[in-house]
Structure 1
């Protein structure tokens, strides 16, 4: 690989003004390695469980079974079918090998009953809380386990959120790879601790819905979009969080629909054989996205292990023939089967509950897996609410006696109830959200879930007002509702929907903006709550003098109303932070606003912004100021930052401070072990210095200025508290080798560069309170 002739030249980063005015690739990405063309990487690596004793034991059991299988039985394991689950692997009855059951979604089981509807993973990311990340994974994993589902189709770091209008951004864990990486690590750890196989998806570059699949209904029809990404960007942005999932032991990875550098992702040898199975040393199995396979022999040799949902179109008897005529090596087929069986044994699924996912076409036993998960759903729901405006401490509410509620998002549209709670779709299908546009608890498509019930904002607020002895008035559907002059607070509920299969048409909507302005015109205390599956712009009304508070309420799941009331009435002080940038107008996102539109038979989407997405792109533009920056969020109190301390740990191990990891050390799942060495320990003291008397938690954030890279990149966060007034706590940030490294495309390794690394700690990507420096020599 060292024959690559070009090194990805750095972006001028010496000095903020010059950097901001001149951010550009010294070599255009189209001139750089692997941009627009995907190099071949063969053969597909075989592995034997060297990452850990647990993987080794799983591989030993898998090989024992493999030795007993006939050719057709091996092939049967690689091919999926739709049965009790959204996907099932083939079985080998004579050896007692049952099908593996696969099911959506990353935020709760789809297509079943007596399951919980968790907040979306985007909402989870807004908590910036590693403990909640883990608790979320454990609870979801337990429901999958109790339903007898072997493979959960989540967590999600693809899409990462390159374009603001991306239809599936809400399924993922932030537009920043570091925050998404921690989410992937903790959710994977939690899910697999419950006994279910976690599936890290979608690998890789699945950043738009338009033409994500071939022969969709466009004019003209043709192949899927090709996401053209240079090698450094592929590693430092899009693959980055998948390293964390693999480090946590993820036993399954799902490849994506679109083409990557003009080769379909599920038959892309560079992505699967090269990055995933060689560099990351992945020991589990790769499954196709549903109907994401487009060739037989090529996909097998490129590293695909299991195909869903049907294995007979390209594999099945065709794969048997390909093995017999040596188009696919027996060793490759054996590796497919061994990886799949090893994942099963790695999660110790030999004694597993019976599958409890049923069709609604016949009577079936109740398998109730909800447990007490409503508690963690409510807690995560509240923690993911982001307060962005709060004039004169409007919030928390202090038991107002006359509460007026407006907007279609405040409640569930009640009819026609005879069609509610159907199987097979998510919340938007089963509760007719698309048709009647009620309160939004989650996005649409295969990432959606099915709630056992929905606590709407209206229900929870009304219950609170009843308890306070007050009155409620409401108007859910009018754009120009009557506003009583007696109302003490007017709560306006709007939302922004997103779904798989299409990208969002806009980041605003006229009806909702007019509703806010019409209420605010007549109510001096207007509080706006936005349930949003992604970025929602607010400039048409955010500066209105009567809009006194604004909450980005995300997609909080079944306990939506309870979570909101916890925040509105002060039982929980808001601590959520934005995990994307909210611009002032759509044009501020530039080329990162919308999907690539192409009428070509082989459409192309050039990721020529390289590393510069979201806040990295905004930091590079002096003349564009976001409305709310990445990492921003208010509390009911305020916090001070002090006593920045940087401890150099690298001197304890001289090998860890070399430019490249030690090549003599074997790789483990998640890459080279030295990538995870902690080189620096950074601390800062956070204090509640507010005057309101409120306790609160603060998400302290560390940003690093890596040489030859964007101006600032998130490389640490720690949620401290809740802190009482006057109380202090220490935020701790561990900087690992990987956190300081860039991808060297010539050496094909992670490189720790010599030089000065500026370091900032603060409350957001632009509210930077403390500054320091690391010098790597």
Structure 2
């Protein structure tokens, strides 16, 4: 795709303009203010009451972090001491409480997607929310829909769910509901187009030797933005998410945390997002610009991590006083933050943080970075409860059985000799938490690396669990031995040659870009197995004709060279299952759990099958590398379908110890109301405070000023001197974007509406039912999947639209019923800036994978 496809008439409203040599993100102002409609009504009223009693400096304190390592959490805002409110605590991660202790290590998001179970997604969200709440966290930094998984080798795909917007959106929404029902604010991230680790931050890239001065630009056209990357964030907003984190990358050459198009127009204008936008750590690059573009909270507050300066703090106070940022904009920031706070009941559940992100020592410096105020930091509160049960369940239910021949699985307890082969079966010699932020690939792989991790309270390895299973059930009649050195091939061969079954464990890791593991700078260098994995498999298969391969990986790996070997009788993908890894796997191996997981991504034969490669070489001089999303909506299975490429295992595929049959598809038209574009204007921006003077915002008398701490107050009534900004002279209304400070009523967008967009999009158009029969001999779970062919020339062959997971006894028939909404059948129309249902014939398909869809029916036309 060339970025010149838009008609001239649509340029003003499109994500990408063709007039410039580089992709361009047009301005959109002013930043829409919160309305408090719908489920936000009560929280909005309380937030308005609270903020109306604040001074300007106190409002600013809510918006600005205190600085890196200044408080206990990875990020904390200033507080309102006058009202007894301490700063708000922001803490990673999307799979548990990061940098803490006595907390759980949950399965990764990709495993949740592999369960295809909405209930488990909710339960995991609730459990994680409880642990964050009990540690004193206000905002859990997760879940993740960016990356969605455009690149199979993207470093952080595992933090999210799946390279499909519907599967990701549903799991995202259920996770958010669980977290916020537990009483913490969820933070959906990373918004938006954050699909690779390479070049996400110029400083990080320079550290790896790349000569660039700006972050990568993800260049995304308007149609692709709406139909793919924005889709799961709509579901997050409909779930009531309290905050959204803007990303490091640029979108069409405008930074994610200062992009007025993506923040003001798409997020707050079109989708009606009522919560607050928070910057990623170090993704805040400007003061006035980002405030007017829709950013609401700067994290962790400093210009760069450990800097004594801030774009906001004192500078934001000055920007209001000198008229460059209207007071209504800061009022709106504060109201959004406090509304999210009240919406989840933080005022009822709140306790101060009882841990430190910077040390596991019991005592240390409260202001860690500047070594001030020695206190008790870690109270070592155990927050695990009974969460090991849901962790074990997700681990088992996310295990995907890819191959099973000659009745290899489930195993019985009368095996004579079990060989366990591969480092991935065993322990990290440094300990489960021996590598900071899991930044190594030692022992069994149970989570990737980076800020999306948590410390394990323990990690049950496959070797331990299998050995315990044998000891508990074989009465000493089964021999079980392990070789966990991946280069001890001779020893592996000797063991495999004696075995009645050889269990081979292999993996492939990835993570966040600030950690480099064996040359993998976050993103994977390739899709092959790590640490000699292919040779381990080859050695086993040459010596044992009953070899079972277990893969722990962050996403797809290349298996073409060995998956169809006759001596490989079974293959299991176990993903990143968290602390109960071994137990979860053994439950499946021995048939206590009938595997029902389905692969949440496609297994291709080559890397080229997936489409464009990750951008690993700068292509724009020393400026922002340009990552043109030329593949549009055609990622993962959509790409394979478009290119007519046969995968090894398709998206949604997974075997069971039983069998299922689909029949009796029925489609019933419903009677929705006609779809009408949104019209009218917003109310004017509410102003909650009176104009103040510089003298009202001086440092309070008697305040003990912590070194480098970021405060909102002024040193003097001389605004220029208080700023300390050499470019202060630029802070005049002369350079402000047109309309950026306009608080008058604004035109509503055609596709806009409270909680995710025009309400007509979410009306049901059709009811679909199908019968599923368990034709086997054991109870099992099946995942009915509904796909739609939208029928347009530029549409994917089919797109996932609905799914569920159902448990069915032998011989039992279950009728599965679901619905299709207007959104499910619509395309984004660039010219009208709205969703439309085209005249093309729509077809619905039902089955249990993206390429096993035995039932289909044409849909009647929809007006």
User: What TM-score do the two structures reach when normalised by structure 2?
Assistant: 0.83
Q: Secondary structure at the match of 1:681?
A: strand
Question: In the alignment, which of 303, 317, 322 is matched to residue 320 of structure 1?
Answer: 317
Alignment check: 8 A CA contact 1:681 1:735 kept: yes
Distance 2:767 2:504 in 1: 45
Question: In the alignment, which of 770, 774, 777 is matched to residue 859 of structure 2?
Answer: 774
Alignment check: 8 A CA contact 1:587 1:593 kept: no
Does residue 635 of structure 2 align to residue 655 of structure 1? no
Post-superposition CA distance 1:705-727 (Å, at most 9, x none): 11322110001112111x22211
Distance 1:332 1:74 in 2: 11
Distance 2:20 2:461 in 1: 51
Alignment check: 8 A CA contact 1:77 1:91 kept: yes
Question: Residues 114, 672 of structure 1: CA spacing in aligned structure 2 closer, same or farther, 3 A cutoff?
Answer: same
Paired residue for 2:408? 394
- Segment drifting more, 478-487 vs 324-333: 478-487
Question: Residues 665, 546 of structure 1: CA spacing in aligned structure 2 closer, same or farther, 3 A cutoff?
Answer: closer
Q: Secondary structure at the match of 1:530?
A: strand
Distance 1:143 1:557 in 2: 15
Paired residue for 1:20? none
Paired residue for 1:669? 755
Map 1:201-600 → 2, pairs under 5 A = 201-215=189-203, 216-217=205-206, 218-311=209-302, 312-351=309-348, 352-358=350-356, 359-363=359-363, 364-399=378-413, 400-415=415-430, 421=433, 425-426=436-437, 428-429=438-439, 433-434=440-441, 437-467=442-472, 468-469=474-475, 470-479=478-487, 480=489, 481=492, 482-501=494-513, 502-509=522-529, 511-592=532-613, 597-598=618-619, 600=621
Q: Which has the larger radius of gyration?
A: 2
Q: Secondary structure at the match of 1:641?
A: strand
Q: Secondary structure at the match of 1:483?
A: helix
- Segment drifting more, 519-528 vs 663-672: 663-672
Distance 1:666 1:210 in 2: 34
Distance 2:780 2:276 in 1: 43
Displacement of 1:678: 1.3
Alignment check: 8 A CA contact 1:32 1:230 kept: no
Q: Deviation above 4 Å: which 4+ runs of structure 1?
A: 27-35, 420-423, 592-597, 660-666
Displacement of 1:594: 6.0
Question: Residues 346, 38 of structure 1: CA spacing in aligned structure 2 closer, same or farther, 3 A cutoff?
Answer: same
Q: Secondary structure at the match of 2:534?
A: helix
Q: Secondary structure at the match of 2:130?
A: helix
Distance 2:283 2:496 in 1: 55
Question: Residues 6, 459 of structure 1: CA spacing in aligned structure 2 closer, same or farther, 3 A cutoff?
Answer: farther
Question: Residues 594, 122 of structure 1: CA spacing in aligned structure 2 closer, same or farther, 3 A cutoff?
Answer: farther
Distance 2:235 2:783 in 1: 21
Aligned-residue Cα RMSD (Å) equals: 2.2
Displacement of 1:587: 2.1
Displacement of 1:414: 3.0
Displacement of 1:666: 8.0
- Segment drifting more, 198-207 vs 82-91: 82-91
Distance 2:833 2:20 in 1: 11
Distance 2:775 2:245 in 1: 47
Aligned length: 737
Distance 2:822 2:542 in 1: 54
Distance 1:360 1:637 in 2: 48
Paired residue for 1:613? 635
Distance 1:28 1:195 in 2: 36
Displacement of 1:71: 1.7
Post-superposition CA distance 1:440-493 (Å, at most 9, x none): 000100011111000100010001111223221111004312235331100000
User: What TM-score do the two structures reach when normalised by structure 1?
Assistant: 0.92
Question: Residues 323, 441 of structure 1: CA spacing in aligned structure 2 closer, same or farther, 3 A cutoff?
Answer: same
Structure 1 gaps, min length 5: 9-26
Question: Residues 148, 478 of structure 1: CA spacing in aligned structure 2 closer, same or farther, 3 A cutoff?
Answer: closer
Map 1:705-716 → 2, pairs under 5 A = 705-708=789-792, 709-716=795-802
- Segment drifting more, 287-296 vs 585-594: 585-594
Paired residue for 2:56? 71
Post-superposition CA distance 1:355-400 (Å, at most 9, x none): 2223423344231110000000000000110111101221000111
Displacement of 1:613: 0.8
Alignment check: 8 A CA contact 2:428 2:434 kept: no
Question: In the alignment, which of 5, 8, 14 is matched to residue 5 of structure 1?
Answer: 8
Alignment check: 8 A CA contact 1:145 1:196 kept: yes
Paired residue for 1:11? none
Distance 1:88 1:310 in 2: 9
Distance 2:836 2:617 in 1: 32
Distance 2:65 2:678 in 1: 39
Displacement of 1:401: 2.8
Alignment check: 8 A CA contact 1:33 1:231 kept: no
Map 1:136-151 → 2, pairs under 5 A = 136-151=124-139
Paired residue for 1:19? none
Post-superposition CA distance 1:276-295 (Å, at most 9, x none): 00111011100000011011
Post-superposition CA distance 1:256-314 (Å, at most 9, x none): 00000000000000000010001110111000000110111110000000001125421
Post-superposition CA distance 1:219-249 (Å, at most 9, x none): 3131111000001100110010000011010
Post-superposition CA distance 1:682-706 (Å, at most 9, x none): 111011112xx22211111111011
Q: Secondary structure at the match of 2:497?
A: coil
Distance 1:343 1:34 in 2: 41
Post-superposition CA distance 1:393-437 (Å, at most 9, x none): 21000111311100000011334x5xx6479x43x15xxx44xx2
Distance 2:620 2:275 in 1: 38
Distance 1:70 1:666 in 2: 33
Post-superposition CA distance 1:611-637 (Å, at most 9, x none): 111111110113x21111111111111
Displacement of 1:6: 5.8
Map 1:619-634 → 2, pairs under 5 A = 619-622=641-644, 624-634=645-655
Question: Residues 695, 33 of structure 1: CA spacing in aligned structure 2 closer, same or farther, 3 A cutoff?
Answer: farther
Distance 2:578 2:49 in 1: 44
Does residue 16 of structure 2 align to residue 56 of structure 1? no
Distance 1:238 1:292 in 2: 20
